[in-house]
Structure 1
Amino acid sequence: MQLGTGRAKITVPRDAVVDVEGLRTGWKDVRYKVRLHSRLGGPMIRISGAMEFGRLTIRHARR
């Protein structure tokens, strides 16, 4: 992901595990709350890249 300014929103499956360790942020942090009750065997989603002044919001699908 390359994000200079603006915002990006990503919706992932309910049982997904999201790894944002490879994402470098400049000005703002990533908004992501880890699900407490995720099932094993769900997809692993890795987000890497660089953000300067933008904001990334990640949320799990409700259904």
Structure 2
Amino acid sequence: MGKIDPLRAANLSEEVTEEVGELMDYNLPPGIFCERFHRAVDAAFKLKYKGLGASVTK
């Protein structure tokens, strides 16, 4: 995709986080939930958008 603008980056991130959010167990304790969500979003983004070099930060 080359260099992408901030709005496009936000839209890609939103798409991935919503997909992951639909699969999450919202009954987990907050710390465990956050860690699993972070890892799942990072993995899903890298799988869906190979080569973008994006990462999720806390």
Identify the TM-score tier after normalising by the shorter chain: under 0.3
Instruction: Give the number of the structure whose residues are more often strand, by fraction.
Output: 1
Tell which has more relative contact order, 1 or 2 (C-alpha 8 A, sep 6+). Answer: 1
Using the size of structure 1 for normalisation, the TM-score is 0.24
Normalising by structure 2, what TM-score?
0.25
